[in-house]
Amino acid sequence: MTDDPHSQRPLPGGRRRVALITGGTRGIGLGIARALARDGWDLLLSGQRSIADVSAVLDELSGDGARVDYIAADISQPGGRAAIVERTRSNHGAVNALVNNAGRAPRVRADIIDASEDSFEEVLRTNLQGPYFLTQAIARDMLEHSRRDATFRAAIVFVTSVSAAMISPNRGEYCVSKAGLAMAAGLFAVRLASAGIPVYDVRPGIIATDMTAAVKETYDRRIAEGLVPEGRWGQPDDVGRTVCALLRGDLPYATGSVIHLDGGLSLPRL
């Protein structure tokens, strides 16, 4: 961890910006954490792995100048969300940013005709119900803090997916969860706009992470065949840099905006 004041970029009164990132120690979440650490943010990361299992990641982020806090908690469960909120309040008061990134794919990709109710419930609890109610709790604290401190600034990002609008019948529960999460982003954007808390919907496309590793060969071939106009996989850093710009305030007057990070994948084509 560095004490270089230029890398820390404190807020008025010396307070450093703090971002809560769910699923922030791997994949897209880690790409976001790295970008924010480089930009002078402190981080509260949540995930399901033990702190021992993520210690190397935490050390890396600390080396980029961030003060890093980690909590092992399952956002799909009320107790897990309560633990995250309690850690937020006890260690940070209120965070300046919430990044709803944690998500899961179905354990088995199954045709919608055959997919199980258990899989549907598991995916929606993590991808939709968890971030919906975590945002509710964190937004309450943001509103309260902004009422007490006129200098307090906050923002929220929902990491949804191109699957919020693009159809994959062999993972219907995932598509439904992301479509619901996109609606949640819009709902919170409208509710929090008058308080000056912008909310954004970031929709990644085909991103190179451990979640997509199992289908790498398939998408390598499809990208080579022209599926993605930009002709490459997306990287976690692509998402991280974009989220960083949003949280920094580089897109003013844009609450509720949908940001496509898919190399043109979702563009309608003949």
What would the two tokens of residue 185 be?
A: 């982003």
Per-residue pLDDT of the chain (270 residues; tens, 9 = 90+): 333 322 334 454 557 899 999 999 999 999 999 999 999 999 999 999 999 999 999 999 999 999 999 999 999 999 999 999 999 999 999 999 999 999 999 999 999 999 999 999 999 999 999 999 999 999 999 999 999 999 999 999 999 999 999 999 999 999 999 999 999 999 999 999 999 999 999 999 999 999 899 899 999 999 999 999 999 999 999 999 999 999 999 999 999 999 999 999 999 999
pLDDT for the residue numbered 14: 57
pLDDT for the residue numbered 5: 28
pLDDT for the residue numbered 10: 46
pLDDT for the residue numbered 15: 72
pLDDT for the residue numbered 7: 32
The alpha carbon of 83 is separated from its chain's Cα centroid by a whole number of angstroms, namely: 18
pLDDT for the residue numbered 1: 32
pTM for the model: 0.94
pLDDT for the residue numbered 9: 42
| Residue 190 identity | V
d(CA 270, CA 267): 10
Does domain 5-261 correspond to CATH entry 3.40.50.2000?
no
| Contact between residue 202 and residue 189 where contact means Cβ atoms under 8 Å apart | no
In sequence order, the 6+-apart residues with CB closer than 8 A to the CB of 144 are 94
pLDDT > 90: percent of the chain: 93
| Contact between residue 61 and residue 36 where contact means Cβ atoms under 8 Å apart | no
Domain ranges of the chain: 5-261
pLDDT digits (tens, 9 = 90+) for 173-202: 999 999 999 999 999 999 999 999 999 999
The alpha carbon of 52 is separated from its chain's Cα centroid by a whole number of angstroms, namely: 23
270: number of Cβ within 10 Å: 2
In sequence order, the 6+-apart residues with CB closer than 8 A to the CB of 30 are 24, 57, 236
